[in-house]
Structure 1
Amino acid sequence: MTDWEWDPTLFSGSAAHYADGRMAYPAEVAEAIGAELGLDGTGRLLDVGCGPGSLTLSLAPRFAEAVGVDADADMLAEARRRAEAAGVSNVTWRHLRAEELPAGLGSFRTAVFAQSFHWMDRSLVAQKVRDMLEPGGVWVHVSASTHRGWIVDETLPLPRPPWEDVDALVAAYLGPVRRAGQGFLAGGTAGGEEAVMREAGYRGPVRITVDTGSVVERSAEAIVSAVFSLSYAAPHLFGDRLDEFAADLRALLGKASPTGRFAERLSPIEAALWRP
Protein backbone atom coordinates (compact mmCIF):
# COMPACT_ATOMS: atom_id res chain seq x y z
CA MET A 1 0.00 0.00 0.00
CA THR A 2 3.06 2.29 0.17
CA ASP A 3 2.62 3.64 -3.38
CA TRP A 4 -1.12 4.26 -3.07
CA GLU A 5 -2.52 7.71 -2.34
CA TRP A 6 -6.07 8.46 -1.26
CA ASP A 7 -8.25 10.36 -3.71
CA PRO A 8 -11.89 11.48 -3.57
CA THR A 9 -13.09 8.86 -6.06
CA LEU A 10 -12.34 5.94 -3.71
CA PHE A 11 -16.01 5.13 -3.10
CA SER A 12 -17.52 7.25 -5.87
CA GLY A 13 -21.01 5.96 -6.66
CA SER A 14 -20.97 3.42 -3.82
CA ALA A 15 -22.95 5.24 -1.12
CA ALA A 16 -26.38 4.46 -2.54
CA HIS A 17 -25.57 0.75 -2.51
CA TYR A 18 -24.70 0.47 1.19
CA ALA A 19 -28.22 0.21 2.63
CA ASP A 20 -29.13 -2.75 0.43
CA GLY A 21 -25.71 -4.24 -0.12
CA ARG A 22 -24.07 -4.28 3.30
CA MET A 23 -25.41 -6.47 6.08
CA ALA A 24 -26.29 -4.38 9.12
CA TYR A 25 -24.18 -4.53 12.25
CA PRO A 26 -26.11 -6.70 14.72
CA ALA A 27 -27.57 -4.82 17.68
CA GLU A 28 -25.32 -6.99 19.85
CA VAL A 29 -22.27 -5.02 18.68
CA ALA A 30 -23.48 -1.74 20.16
CA GLU A 31 -24.72 -3.60 23.23
CA ALA A 32 -21.33 -5.23 23.82
CA ILE A 33 -19.42 -1.97 23.36
CA GLY A 34 -21.88 -0.15 25.58
CA ALA A 35 -21.57 -2.73 28.34
CA GLU A 36 -17.76 -2.80 28.23
CA LEU A 37 -17.47 1.00 28.33
CA GLY A 38 -20.37 1.63 30.70
CA LEU A 39 -22.11 3.90 28.20
CA ASP A 40 -25.03 5.64 29.87
CA GLY A 41 -26.34 8.22 27.43
CA THR A 42 -23.78 10.86 28.35
CA GLY A 43 -20.61 12.07 26.65
CA ARG A 44 -19.77 12.45 22.98
CA LEU A 45 -19.03 9.90 20.24
CA LEU A 46 -16.73 10.50 17.26
CA ASP A 47 -17.13 8.08 14.34
CA VAL A 48 -14.23 8.53 11.91
CA GLY A 49 -14.80 7.25 8.40
CA CYS A 50 -18.44 6.79 9.30
CA GLY A 51 -19.63 6.10 5.75
CA PRO A 52 -23.44 6.08 5.62
CA GLY A 53 -23.68 5.88 9.41
CA SER A 54 -23.76 2.09 9.55
CA LEU A 55 -22.43 1.93 13.11
CA THR A 56 -22.93 5.57 14.09
CA LEU A 57 -26.71 5.26 14.20
CA SER A 58 -26.52 2.13 16.35
CA LEU A 59 -24.18 3.71 18.90
CA ALA A 60 -25.55 7.27 18.94
CA PRO A 61 -28.44 6.59 21.39
CA ARG A 62 -25.83 5.58 23.99
CA PHE A 63 -24.34 9.09 23.96
CA ALA A 64 -25.62 12.62 24.48
CA GLU A 65 -24.13 13.63 21.13
CA ALA A 66 -22.39 11.99 18.19
CA VAL A 67 -20.31 13.34 15.30
CA GLY A 68 -19.83 11.35 12.11
CA VAL A 69 -16.87 12.29 9.91
CA ASP A 70 -16.29 11.08 6.36
CA ALA A 71 -14.35 12.22 3.30
CA ASP A 72 -17.15 11.22 0.89
CA ALA A 73 -20.02 13.71 0.61
CA ASP A 74 -22.39 11.13 -0.86
CA MET A 75 -21.80 8.83 2.12
CA LEU A 76 -22.77 11.65 4.46
CA ALA A 77 -25.89 12.43 2.44
CA GLU A 78 -26.89 8.79 2.81
CA ALA A 79 -26.09 8.95 6.53
CA ARG A 80 -28.34 11.96 6.99
CA ARG A 81 -31.15 10.22 5.13
CA ARG A 82 -30.81 7.09 7.23
CA ALA A 83 -30.64 9.07 10.47
CA GLU A 84 -33.86 10.89 9.62
CA ALA A 85 -35.59 7.62 8.70
CA ALA A 86 -34.47 6.04 11.97
CA GLY A 87 -35.43 9.08 14.06
CA VAL A 88 -31.87 9.57 15.32
CA SER A 89 -31.46 13.30 15.93
CA ASN A 90 -28.32 13.65 18.06
CA VAL A 91 -25.75 13.19 15.26
CA THR A 92 -23.85 15.92 13.42
CA TRP A 93 -22.25 14.96 10.11
CA ARG A 94 -18.99 16.58 8.97
CA HIS A 95 -17.43 16.32 5.52
CA LEU A 96 -13.69 16.09 6.04
CA ARG A 97 -10.78 13.68 5.95
CA ALA A 98 -9.56 12.12 9.17
CA GLU A 99 -6.18 13.77 8.57
CA GLU A 100 -7.92 17.17 8.93
CA LEU A 101 -8.92 16.50 12.53
CA PRO A 102 -9.35 17.95 15.14
CA ALA A 103 -11.19 20.51 12.97
CA GLY A 104 -12.58 22.29 16.02
CA LEU A 105 -14.78 19.33 16.95
CA GLY A 106 -13.81 19.31 20.63
CA SER A 107 -13.22 16.33 22.90
CA PHE A 108 -14.90 12.94 22.98
CA ARG A 109 -15.59 10.09 25.37
CA THR A 110 -15.26 7.50 22.59
CA ALA A 111 -13.83 7.45 19.06
CA VAL A 112 -14.81 4.60 16.78
CA PHE A 113 -13.26 3.44 13.52
CA ALA A 114 -15.34 0.77 11.77
CA GLN A 115 -13.76 -0.73 8.63
CA SER A 116 -12.13 2.65 7.93
CA PHE A 117 -8.73 3.05 9.63
CA HIS A 118 -6.81 1.29 6.85
CA TRP A 119 -7.70 4.07 4.38
CA MET A 120 -5.96 6.77 6.44
CA ASP A 121 -2.52 8.04 7.36
CA ARG A 122 -2.78 5.87 10.44
CA SER A 123 0.12 7.22 12.49
CA LEU A 124 -1.03 10.80 11.98
CA VAL A 125 -4.70 10.04 12.68
CA ALA A 126 -3.92 7.93 15.75
CA GLN A 127 -2.03 10.84 17.31
CA LYS A 128 -4.63 13.45 16.36
CA VAL A 129 -7.53 11.44 17.78
CA ARG A 130 -5.53 10.59 20.91
CA ASP A 131 -5.41 14.31 21.67
CA MET A 132 -9.19 14.56 21.14
CA LEU A 133 -10.08 11.90 23.71
CA GLU A 134 -11.08 13.18 27.12
CA PRO A 135 -9.47 11.66 30.24
CA GLY A 136 -10.60 8.05 30.42
CA GLY A 137 -11.63 8.14 26.76
CA VAL A 138 -11.42 5.06 24.54
CA TRP A 139 -10.62 4.37 20.88
CA VAL A 140 -12.70 1.52 19.43
CA HIS A 141 -11.47 -0.22 16.28
CA VAL A 142 -14.15 -2.43 14.70
CA SER A 143 -13.10 -5.18 12.29
CA ALA A 144 -15.83 -6.79 10.22
CA SER A 145 -16.86 -8.04 6.82
CA THR A 146 -20.38 -6.84 6.14
CA HIS A 147 -20.51 -7.12 2.35
CA ARG A 148 -20.21 -10.91 2.49
CA GLY A 149 -20.65 -13.69 5.00
CA TRP A 150 -18.40 -16.12 6.78
CA ILE A 151 -16.86 -18.90 4.70
CA VAL A 152 -17.93 -22.01 6.61
CA ASP A 153 -18.22 -25.61 5.41
CA GLU A 154 -21.88 -26.17 6.17
CA THR A 155 -25.23 -26.61 4.47
CA LEU A 156 -27.37 -23.49 4.37
CA PRO A 157 -31.07 -23.25 3.46
CA LEU A 158 -30.24 -21.41 0.22
CA PRO A 159 -27.22 -21.24 -2.10
CA ARG A 160 -24.29 -19.10 -1.04
CA PRO A 161 -23.38 -16.16 -3.26
CA PRO A 162 -20.61 -17.28 -5.67
CA TRP A 163 -18.07 -14.79 -4.35
CA GLU A 164 -15.05 -16.35 -6.03
CA ASP A 165 -16.80 -16.13 -9.39
CA VAL A 166 -17.87 -12.56 -8.62
CA ASP A 167 -14.27 -11.58 -7.87
CA ALA A 168 -13.15 -13.24 -11.09
CA LEU A 169 -15.76 -11.26 -13.03
CA VAL A 170 -14.59 -8.00 -11.46
CA ALA A 171 -11.01 -8.88 -12.39
CA ALA A 172 -12.06 -9.70 -15.96
CA TYR A 173 -13.40 -6.15 -16.31
CA LEU A 174 -10.91 -4.18 -14.22
CA GLY A 175 -7.75 -6.26 -14.37
CA PRO A 176 -6.07 -8.62 -11.89
CA VAL A 177 -4.62 -5.90 -9.62
CA ARG A 178 -7.07 -4.54 -7.07
CA ARG A 179 -8.29 -1.04 -7.85
CA ALA A 180 -8.70 1.76 -5.30
CA GLY A 181 -9.82 5.18 -6.50
CA GLN A 182 -7.51 6.24 -9.31
CA GLY A 183 -4.77 3.90 -8.08
CA PHE A 184 -4.08 0.27 -7.34
CA LEU A 185 -3.58 -1.84 -4.21
CA ALA A 186 -1.51 -4.79 -5.34
CA GLY A 187 -1.05 -6.05 -1.79
CA GLY A 188 -4.44 -5.04 -0.39
CA THR A 189 -5.01 -2.59 2.44
CA ALA A 190 -2.48 -2.20 5.23
CA GLY A 191 -2.52 -4.27 8.42
CA GLY A 192 -0.51 -4.03 11.60
CA GLU A 193 -2.90 -1.74 13.49
CA GLU A 194 -1.53 -2.86 16.85
CA ALA A 195 1.97 -1.56 16.10
CA VAL A 196 0.56 1.75 14.90
CA MET A 197 -1.54 2.19 18.04
CA ARG A 198 1.27 1.32 20.45
CA GLU A 199 3.66 3.66 18.67
CA ALA A 200 1.08 6.43 19.12
CA GLY A 201 0.99 5.79 22.87
CA TYR A 202 -2.15 3.71 23.29
CA ARG A 203 -2.54 0.86 25.78
CA GLY A 204 -4.38 -2.38 25.14
CA PRO A 205 -6.24 -3.67 23.43
CA VAL A 206 -9.21 -5.21 25.20
CA ARG A 207 -10.97 -7.31 22.59
CA ILE A 208 -14.68 -7.97 22.27
CA THR A 209 -15.98 -10.52 19.77
CA VAL A 210 -19.62 -10.64 18.76
CA ASP A 211 -20.70 -13.81 16.98
CA THR A 212 -24.47 -14.05 16.67
CA GLY A 213 -24.32 -17.12 14.46
CA SER A 214 -27.07 -15.57 12.37
CA VAL A 215 -27.87 -16.86 8.90
CA VAL A 216 -28.94 -13.98 6.67
CA GLU A 217 -31.10 -14.35 3.57
CA ARG A 218 -30.06 -12.02 0.76
CA SER A 219 -31.47 -11.22 -2.66
CA ALA A 220 -29.51 -11.16 -5.90
CA GLU A 221 -30.00 -7.38 -6.03
CA ALA A 222 -28.54 -7.09 -2.53
CA ILE A 223 -25.45 -8.94 -3.74
CA VAL A 224 -25.19 -6.60 -6.75
CA SER A 225 -25.29 -3.64 -4.37
CA ALA A 226 -22.75 -5.33 -2.09
CA VAL A 227 -20.33 -5.55 -5.02
CA PHE A 228 -20.84 -1.89 -5.94
CA SER A 229 -20.30 -0.89 -2.30
CA LEU A 230 -16.69 -2.09 -2.50
CA SER A 231 -13.82 0.26 -3.22
CA TYR A 232 -12.35 -2.15 -5.75
CA ALA A 233 -15.65 -2.49 -7.61
CA ALA A 234 -17.07 1.02 -7.17
CA PRO A 235 -19.37 1.97 -10.06
CA HIS A 236 -17.07 4.68 -11.47
CA LEU A 237 -14.32 2.15 -12.15
CA PHE A 238 -16.35 0.46 -14.90
CA GLY A 239 -16.83 3.63 -16.94
CA ASP A 240 -19.03 3.07 -19.99
CA ARG A 241 -19.02 -0.70 -19.33
CA LEU A 242 -20.97 -0.35 -16.06
CA ASP A 243 -24.28 -1.60 -17.48
CA GLU A 244 -22.51 -4.47 -19.25
CA PHE A 245 -20.81 -5.53 -16.02
CA ALA A 246 -24.07 -5.29 -14.06
CA ALA A 247 -25.83 -7.49 -16.63
CA ASP A 248 -23.04 -10.09 -16.48
CA LEU A 249 -23.11 -10.01 -12.67
CA ARG A 250 -26.87 -10.56 -12.57
CA ALA A 251 -26.54 -13.42 -15.05
CA LEU A 252 -23.84 -15.01 -12.88
CA LEU A 253 -26.04 -14.72 -9.79
CA GLY A 254 -29.04 -16.07 -11.67
CA LYS A 255 -27.08 -19.16 -12.65
CA ALA A 256 -25.99 -19.69 -9.02
CA SER A 257 -29.55 -19.31 -7.68
CA PRO A 258 -32.44 -19.36 -10.16
CA THR A 259 -34.77 -18.12 -7.39
CA GLY A 260 -32.62 -15.04 -6.88
CA ARG A 261 -32.24 -15.82 -3.16
CA PHE A 262 -29.04 -16.57 -1.25
CA ALA A 263 -28.01 -17.33 2.33
CA GLU A 264 -24.86 -16.46 4.27
CA ARG A 265 -23.75 -16.78 7.86
CA LEU A 266 -22.83 -13.41 9.36
CA SER A 267 -19.13 -13.19 10.15
CA PRO A 268 -17.93 -12.60 13.72
CA ILE A 269 -17.26 -8.93 14.47
CA GLU A 270 -14.37 -7.82 16.65
CA ALA A 271 -13.96 -4.56 18.54
CA ALA A 272 -10.50 -3.68 19.86
CA LEU A 273 -10.58 -1.11 22.67
CA TRP A 274 -7.52 1.09 23.12
CA ARG A 275 -6.84 3.65 25.84
CA PRO A 276 -4.33 6.53 25.59
Structure 2
Amino acid sequence: MTGFRPDLYRGTAGYYDRFRLPYPDGMVADLARRAAPSGRGRLLDLACGTGQLAFPLRRWFAETWAVDAEPDMTDVVRAKAAAAGAADVRPVTAAAEELDAAPESFELIVIGNAFHRLRRAAVAERAHAWLSPGGHLALCWSTSPWAGPADWQRTLDRLLRRWQHTLGAGGRVPPGWERDRQQDPDHELLSRAGFELAGRHEFTAEHRWTIPDLAGHIRSTSFLPPPVLAGHAADFDADLAAELGRHSIDGHLTETVGFAYDLARKPTST
Protein backbone atom coordinates (compact mmCIF):
# COMPACT_ATOMS: atom_id res chain seq x y z
CA MET A 1 0.00 0.00 0.00
CA THR A 2 1.00 3.65 -0.32
CA GLY A 3 2.73 4.68 2.91
CA PHE A 4 2.04 7.85 4.89
CA ARG A 5 4.83 9.52 6.85
CA PRO A 6 4.57 8.89 10.60
CA ASP A 7 5.22 12.56 11.47
CA LEU A 8 2.60 14.18 9.23
CA TYR A 9 0.77 15.81 12.13
CA ARG A 10 3.75 16.87 14.21
CA GLY A 11 3.21 20.39 15.52
CA THR A 12 -0.54 20.42 14.81
CA ALA A 13 -2.06 19.22 18.11
CA GLY A 14 -3.08 22.61 19.53
CA TYR A 15 -4.64 23.68 16.23
CA TYR A 16 -6.24 20.26 15.80
CA ASP A 17 -7.97 20.49 19.14
CA ARG A 18 -9.18 24.06 18.67
CA PHE A 19 -10.11 24.22 14.99
CA ARG A 20 -11.24 20.75 13.92
CA LEU A 21 -15.02 20.65 13.78
CA PRO A 22 -16.70 18.33 16.28
CA TYR A 23 -18.82 15.43 15.13
CA PRO A 24 -22.52 16.38 15.49
CA ASP A 25 -24.23 15.35 18.70
CA GLY A 26 -26.87 13.58 16.63
CA MET A 27 -24.26 11.45 14.89
CA VAL A 28 -22.56 10.52 18.17
CA ALA A 29 -25.90 9.55 19.74
CA ASP A 30 -26.91 7.57 16.64
CA LEU A 31 -23.64 5.64 16.68
CA ALA A 32 -24.05 4.85 20.38
CA ARG A 33 -27.62 3.67 19.78
CA ARG A 34 -26.64 1.35 16.94
CA ALA A 35 -23.54 -0.01 18.70
CA ALA A 36 -25.59 -0.53 21.91
CA PRO A 37 -22.70 -0.66 24.41
CA SER A 38 -23.40 -2.27 27.78
CA GLY A 39 -22.15 0.66 29.83
CA ARG A 40 -19.59 -1.65 31.45
CA GLY A 41 -17.28 -2.11 28.48
CA ARG A 42 -14.32 -0.42 26.86
CA LEU A 43 -14.09 2.00 23.91
CA LEU A 44 -11.05 2.28 21.63
CA ASP A 45 -10.49 5.49 19.65
CA LEU A 46 -7.73 4.63 17.17
CA ALA A 47 -5.65 7.43 15.59
CA CYS A 48 -7.63 9.58 18.00
CA GLY A 49 -6.12 13.01 17.34
CA THR A 50 -7.02 15.02 20.42
CA GLY A 51 -10.05 12.89 21.28
CA GLN A 52 -12.76 14.17 18.91
CA LEU A 53 -14.56 10.84 19.29
CA ALA A 54 -13.18 9.58 22.59
CA PHE A 55 -14.59 12.38 24.73
CA PRO A 56 -18.16 12.57 23.38
CA LEU A 57 -18.52 8.76 23.36
CA ARG A 58 -16.91 8.00 26.73
CA ARG A 59 -20.13 8.37 28.73
CA TRP A 60 -21.40 5.07 27.29
CA PHE A 61 -18.33 3.13 28.51
CA ALA A 62 -16.54 2.27 31.72
CA GLU A 63 -13.12 2.90 30.14
CA THR A 64 -11.89 4.67 26.99
CA TRP A 65 -8.54 4.17 25.29
CA ALA A 66 -7.43 7.15 23.18
CA VAL A 67 -4.57 5.96 20.96
CA ASP A 68 -2.44 8.03 18.60
CA ALA A 69 1.06 7.69 17.19
CA GLU A 70 1.84 11.39 17.81
CA PRO A 71 2.92 12.16 21.40
CA ASP A 72 1.69 15.75 21.00
CA MET A 73 -1.83 14.46 20.39
CA THR A 74 -1.92 12.14 23.39
CA ASP A 75 -0.42 14.91 25.55
CA VAL A 76 -3.45 17.07 24.70
CA VAL A 77 -5.80 14.14 25.44
CA ARG A 78 -4.09 13.65 28.80
CA ALA A 79 -4.46 17.34 29.67
CA LYS A 80 -8.13 17.39 28.62
CA ALA A 81 -8.89 14.26 30.63
CA ALA A 82 -7.21 15.74 33.70
CA ALA A 83 -9.10 19.01 33.33
CA ALA A 84 -12.41 17.13 33.02
CA GLY A 85 -11.66 14.71 35.85
CA ALA A 86 -12.02 11.90 33.31
CA ALA A 87 -10.04 9.15 35.01
CA ASP A 88 -11.72 6.65 32.67
CA VAL A 89 -9.80 8.05 29.65
CA ARG A 90 -6.49 6.29 29.04
CA PRO A 91 -4.18 8.07 26.56
CA VAL A 92 -1.83 5.70 24.73
CA THR A 93 0.96 6.74 22.37
CA ALA A 94 1.22 3.96 19.79
CA ALA A 95 0.70 3.31 16.12
CA ALA A 96 -2.60 1.62 15.41
CA GLU A 97 -0.74 -1.25 13.77
CA GLU A 98 1.42 -1.80 16.88
CA LEU A 99 -1.02 -1.31 19.75
CA ASP A 100 -0.82 -4.01 22.42
CA ALA A 101 -4.37 -4.94 23.41
CA ALA A 102 -5.98 -8.16 24.56
CA PRO A 103 -8.39 -10.10 22.35
CA GLU A 104 -12.08 -9.32 22.80
CA SER A 105 -11.32 -6.36 25.08
CA PHE A 106 -13.41 -3.62 23.38
CA GLU A 107 -17.12 -3.20 22.66
CA LEU A 108 -16.62 -0.40 20.12
CA ILE A 109 -13.65 0.76 18.05
CA VAL A 110 -13.84 4.11 16.26
CA ILE A 111 -11.43 5.62 13.72
CA GLY A 112 -12.03 9.25 12.79
CA ASN A 113 -10.83 10.57 9.40
CA ALA A 114 -7.81 8.28 9.57
CA PHE A 115 -8.47 4.78 8.23
CA HIS A 116 -7.04 5.71 4.82
CA ARG A 117 -3.71 6.63 6.49
CA LEU A 118 -3.34 3.31 8.28
CA ARG A 119 -2.30 -0.10 7.00
CA ARG A 120 -5.95 -0.86 6.51
CA ALA A 121 -5.84 -4.66 6.17
CA ALA A 122 -3.65 -5.10 9.23
CA VAL A 123 -5.72 -2.70 11.33
CA ALA A 124 -9.01 -4.33 10.24
CA GLU A 125 -7.73 -7.76 11.25
CA ARG A 126 -6.43 -6.48 14.58
CA ALA A 127 -9.67 -4.60 15.27
CA HIS A 128 -11.66 -7.75 14.60
CA ALA A 129 -9.54 -9.64 17.14
CA TRP A 130 -9.78 -6.84 19.73
CA LEU A 131 -13.58 -6.62 19.57
CA SER A 132 -15.84 -8.73 21.73
CA PRO A 133 -18.36 -10.84 19.78
CA GLY A 134 -21.15 -8.55 18.61
CA GLY A 135 -18.89 -5.50 18.98
CA HIS A 136 -18.66 -2.79 16.34
CA LEU A 137 -16.08 -0.89 14.31
CA ALA A 138 -17.06 2.60 13.10
CA LEU A 139 -15.08 4.46 10.45
CA CYS A 140 -16.04 8.11 10.92
CA TRP A 141 -15.60 10.83 8.31
CA SER A 142 -16.14 14.52 7.69
CA THR A 143 -15.71 16.71 4.61
CA SER A 144 -13.04 19.41 4.32
CA PRO A 145 -13.76 23.10 3.72
CA TRP A 146 -11.70 23.22 0.52
CA ALA A 147 -13.57 20.28 -1.03
CA GLY A 148 -16.99 21.86 -1.52
CA PRO A 149 -18.76 23.52 -4.47
CA ALA A 150 -19.00 27.12 -3.23
CA ASP A 151 -16.90 29.80 -4.92
CA TRP A 152 -14.95 30.45 -1.73
CA GLN A 153 -14.20 26.73 -1.37
CA ARG A 154 -12.84 26.50 -4.92
CA THR A 155 -10.76 29.62 -4.26
CA LEU A 156 -9.42 28.05 -1.07
CA ASP A 157 -8.54 24.82 -2.86
CA ARG A 158 -6.55 26.71 -5.50
CA LEU A 159 -4.76 28.77 -2.85
CA LEU A 160 -3.77 25.68 -0.86
CA ARG A 161 -2.44 23.94 -3.93
CA ARG A 162 -0.43 27.02 -4.85
CA TRP A 163 1.10 27.27 -1.38
CA GLN A 164 1.89 23.55 -1.30
CA HIS A 165 3.81 24.01 -4.55
CA THR A 166 5.54 27.18 -3.32
CA LEU A 167 6.68 25.51 -0.11
CA GLY A 168 7.61 22.21 -1.75
CA ALA A 169 5.01 20.38 0.33
CA GLY A 170 3.19 18.63 -2.49
CA GLY A 171 4.71 15.25 -1.65
CA ARG A 172 3.83 15.16 2.05
CA VAL A 173 0.67 13.18 1.28
CA PRO A 174 1.76 10.30 -0.95
CA PRO A 175 0.40 10.26 -4.49
CA GLY A 176 -1.81 7.29 -5.23
CA TRP A 177 -3.39 6.85 -1.82
CA GLU A 178 -6.85 7.32 -3.31
CA ARG A 179 -6.11 4.60 -5.87
CA ASP A 180 -5.41 2.07 -3.10
CA ARG A 181 -8.90 2.54 -1.68
CA GLN A 182 -10.53 2.53 -5.10
CA GLN A 183 -8.88 -0.78 -5.97
CA ASP A 184 -9.65 -2.30 -2.57
CA PRO A 185 -12.63 -0.43 -1.06
CA ASP A 186 -13.00 -0.28 2.71
CA HIS A 187 -16.18 -2.36 2.72
CA GLU A 188 -14.56 -5.24 0.84
CA LEU A 189 -11.51 -5.15 3.06
CA LEU A 190 -13.66 -5.21 6.22
CA SER A 191 -15.68 -8.14 4.87
CA ARG A 192 -12.47 -10.12 4.28
CA ALA A 193 -11.42 -9.39 7.86
CA GLY A 194 -14.60 -11.09 9.08
CA PHE A 195 -16.91 -8.14 9.69
CA GLU A 196 -20.60 -7.92 8.88
CA LEU A 197 -21.35 -4.56 7.26
CA ALA A 198 -24.04 -2.47 8.95
CA GLY A 199 -24.33 0.45 6.54
CA ARG A 200 -23.28 4.07 6.14
CA HIS A 201 -25.06 6.70 8.21
CA GLU A 202 -24.81 10.33 7.06
CA PHE A 203 -25.37 13.70 8.73
CA THR A 204 -24.92 17.35 7.83
CA ALA A 205 -24.32 20.50 9.83
CA GLU A 206 -24.00 24.12 8.74
CA HIS A 207 -20.86 25.92 9.89
CA ARG A 208 -19.88 29.58 9.56
CA TRP A 209 -16.12 30.00 9.30
CA THR A 210 -14.13 33.12 10.00
CA ILE A 211 -10.95 33.50 7.98
CA PRO A 212 -8.73 33.27 11.12
CA ASP A 213 -10.51 30.03 12.07
CA LEU A 214 -9.85 28.65 8.60
CA ALA A 215 -6.19 29.61 8.97
CA GLY A 216 -6.13 27.65 12.23
CA HIS A 217 -7.89 24.69 10.65
CA ILE A 218 -5.35 24.59 7.82
CA ARG A 219 -2.56 24.48 10.41
CA SER A 220 -4.19 21.31 11.76
CA THR A 221 -3.69 19.50 8.45
CA SER A 222 -0.98 17.13 7.34
CA PHE A 223 -0.14 19.15 4.21
CA LEU A 224 0.36 22.69 5.59
CA PRO A 225 1.11 22.26 9.31
CA PRO A 226 3.08 24.90 11.26
CA PRO A 227 6.49 23.29 10.57
CA VAL A 228 5.82 23.60 6.82
CA LEU A 229 4.45 27.17 6.92
CA ALA A 230 7.28 28.17 9.30
CA GLY A 231 8.59 31.64 8.39
CA HIS A 232 6.00 32.01 5.63
CA ALA A 233 3.02 31.90 8.02
CA ALA A 234 2.32 35.65 8.01
CA ASP A 235 2.45 35.81 4.20
CA PHE A 236 0.14 32.80 3.98
CA ASP A 237 -2.37 34.40 6.35
CA ALA A 238 -2.32 37.64 4.37
CA ASP A 239 -2.88 35.77 1.10
CA LEU A 240 -5.71 33.76 2.66
CA ALA A 241 -7.40 36.91 3.96
CA ALA A 242 -7.06 38.68 0.60
CA GLU A 243 -8.38 35.75 -1.46
CA LEU A 244 -11.27 34.78 0.81
CA GLY A 245 -12.16 38.24 2.03
CA ARG A 246 -13.96 39.05 -1.22
CA HIS A 247 -16.21 36.01 -0.70
CA SER A 248 -17.08 36.58 2.95
CA ILE A 249 -20.35 38.02 4.21
CA ASP A 250 -20.08 39.89 7.50
CA GLY A 251 -16.69 38.26 7.95
CA HIS A 252 -18.02 34.72 7.58
CA LEU A 253 -17.94 31.91 5.01
CA THR A 254 -20.74 29.35 5.24
CA GLU A 255 -20.32 25.65 4.57
CA THR A 256 -22.61 22.64 4.79
CA VAL A 257 -20.33 20.04 6.35
CA GLY A 258 -20.93 16.37 5.60
CA PHE A 259 -20.35 13.80 8.33
CA ALA A 260 -20.74 10.02 8.12
CA TYR A 261 -19.80 6.77 9.73
CA ASP A 262 -19.46 3.34 8.18
CA LEU A 263 -20.46 0.68 10.70
CA ALA A 264 -19.26 -2.92 10.77
CA ARG A 265 -20.03 -5.66 13.30
CA LYS A 266 -18.07 -8.62 14.54
CA PRO A 267 -20.41 -11.66 14.41
CA THR A 268 -21.41 -13.22 17.69
CA SER A 269 -20.40 -16.63 16.36
CA THR A 270 -18.39 -17.99 13.43
TM-score scaled by length of structure 1 = 0.83
Q: Quick check: 2:113–2:142 contact (8 Å CA) kept in 1? A: yes
* C-alpha displacement of 1:107: 1.1
Q: Which residue of 1 aligns with 2:197?
A: 204
* C-alpha displacement of 1:239: 4.2
Q: Could you list the structure 1 runs, at least 4 aligned residues long, displaced by more than 6 angstroms after superposition.
A: none
Which of 255, 260, 269 is equivalent to 2:260? 269
Q: Quick check: 1:215–1:263 contact (8 Å CA) kept in 2? A: yes
Distance 2:212 2:246 in 1: 14
* CA shift in 2, pair 1:161/1:217, >3 Å: farther
* CA shift in 2, pair 1:138/1:224, >3 Å: same
Distance 1:85 1:222 in 2: 24
Distance 1:209 1:148 in 2: 17
Q: Quick check: 2:13–2:220 contact (8 Å CA) kept in 1? A: yes
- The 3-state SS of whatever aligns with 1:226 is helix
Q: Which residue of 2 aligns with 1:58?
A: 56
Distance 2:56 2:41 in 1: 15
* CA shift in 2, pair 1:30/1:40, >3 Å: farther
Q: Which residue of 2 aligns with 1:175?
A: 165
User: Identity percentage over the alignment?
Assistant: 26
Which of 142, 145, 150 is equivalent to 1:148? 145
Pairs within 5 Å for 1:115-134: 115-134=113-132
Q: Which residue of 2 aligns with 1:254?
A: 245
Which of 22, 44, 50 is equivalent to 1:46? 44
Q: Quick check: 2:101–2:130 contact (8 Å CA) kept in 1? A: no
Deviations 1:10-35 (A, max 9, x none): 11222211233222111111210111
- Of residues 196-205 and 233-242 in structure 1, the stretch that sits farther from structure 2 once superposed is 233-242
Distance 1:244 1:149 in 2: 19
* CA shift in 2, pair 1:23/1:88, >3 Å: same
Q: Which residue of 2 aligns with 1:18?
A: 16
- The 3-state SS of whatever aligns with 2:258 is coil
Indicate whether 1:193 and 2:186 are aligned: yes
Q: Which residue of 1 aligns with 2:34?
A: 36
* C-alpha displacement of 1:36: 1.2
- The 3-state SS of whatever aligns with 1:240 is helix
Q: Quick check: 1:149–1:264 contact (8 Å CA) kept in 2? A: no
- The 3-state SS of whatever aligns with 2:100 is coil
* CA shift in 2, pair 1:22/1:75, >3 Å: same
* C-alpha displacement of 1:268: 3.8
Deviations 1:240-260 (A, max 9, x none): 323322221232232322742
**Residue type of the partner of 1:207?**
R
Distance 1:180 1:203 in 2: 36
Q: Quick check: 2:45–2:65 contact (8 Å CA) kept in 1? A: yes
* C-alpha displacement of 1:96: 0.6
* CA shift in 2, pair 1:109/1:187, >3 Å: closer
Task: Pick the structure with more helix per residue.
Answer: 2
Which of 45, 65, 68 is equivalent to 1:67? 65
Distance 1:48 1:143 in 2: 13
* C-alpha displacement of 1:47: 0.7
Q: Quick check: 1:161–1:263 contact (8 Å CA) kept in 2? A: no
Q: Quick check: 1:30–1:58 contact (8 Å CA) kept in 2? A: yes
Distance 1:202 1:258 in 2: 47
Q: Quick check: 1:161–1:223 contact (8 Å CA) kept in 2? A: no
